[in-house]
Amino acid sequence: MFDWTARLRPLYDKAVAQYRAGQRGEDTFFTPAEREFLAAIGLKPINVYDYAEDFVSAGEPDWETFLLVAAARRDYFLYEQNCETCTQEISGDELPAREAELGGIAWLPRIIAKARCFLGGGLCHDIMYGCGGDRRFLRTHDLHAADFLRAVWSSRGDDGKVLAFVQKNGR
């Protein structure tokens, strides 16, 4: 699927336009063929919808950020999950509290859990990796959302490695 990025851009643009026009609900945004394409790269319609919604509502994250985040998810889906779709979803109440800390850094346990679930395709519809709270955390620590995802992936479940990444590479 050499052209997956070229195929994803029109779906993102379509979602942004539909959201701007007042259409709501990711279940109304994409055709069955578009949903099949998203599934083939490890994405759910809600992933595109959430990024389009936040872009329209808050002006961020932009297309480039969405593309890099989607690429990290796609790579994980292809190379770690061997294109096997996740059947379990984590709900918001299963995430660490917003004020939970790791190494004295608030939000870090929560964003680590969200990143792991996003990489694995297991976030519920109510939770977005890259939401406003995540963006605040990433901006504060001068980290890109896709770089953080890849750090979580390479940590292989070791939160201490993610903490070290944040301490070394962030502010």
> Which letter, b or e, does each residue of 142-164 get, where b requires 16 or more Cβ atoms within 10 Å of its Cβ?
ebbbbebbbbbbebeeebeebbe
Confidence tier at 72 by pLDDT (50, 70, 90): very high
Is the pLDDT at 170 greater than 90, yes or no?
Answer: no
pLDDT value at 83 more than 90: yes
Task: Specify whether 76 is located in the same domain as 155.
Answer: no
> Could you tell me if 157 and 105 lie in one domain?
yes
pLDDT above 90 for 123: no
> Domain check: are 29 and 69 in the same one?
yes
Q: What is the mean pLDDT of the chain?
A: 95
State whether 60 and 31 are in the same domain.
Answer: yes
The pLDDT value given to residue 87? 80
| pLDDT, position 86 | 85
For residue 40, count CB atoms less than 10 angstroms from its CB and return exposed for 0-12, middle for 13-18, buried for 19 or more: middle
Average pLDDT for 79-90: 90
Identify which of 24, 39, 25 has the alpha carbon closest to the alpha carbon of residue 8.
39
Summarize the confidence of residues 107-118 as an average pLDDT: 97
Q: What is the mean pLDDT of residues 92-105?
A: 95
Band (155; pLDDT cuts 50, 70, 90) = very high
135 and 162 in a single domain? The answer is: yes
Spatial contact of 110 and 97, defined as CB atoms under 8 Å apart: yes
**Which of residues 36, 54, 85 is at a domain's end?**
85
- What percent of the chain clears pLDDT 90, i.e. is strictly above it? 88
- The pLDDT assigned to 18 comes to 97
- Cα dihedral across residues 96, 158, 169, 80: positive or negative: negative
pLDDT for 1: 81
- Overall number of domains in the chain: 2
The mean pLDDT of 21-27, rounded to a whole number, is: 93
What pLDDT, on a 0 to 100 scale, did the predictor assign at position 77? 97
Residue 51 has pLDDT above 90, yes or no: yes
Same-domain status, 77 and 98: no
pLDDT of 91 higher than 90: no
Q: What's the token pair of residue 46?
A: 């809600």
Q: Which domain holds residue 165?
A: 88-171
60 has a pLDDT exceeding 80: yes
Mean pLDDT confidence for 104-122:
97
Domain shared by 23 and 46, yes or no: yes
Instruction: Identify the domain boundary among 43, 61, 85.
Output: 85
Same domain, 107 and 124: yes
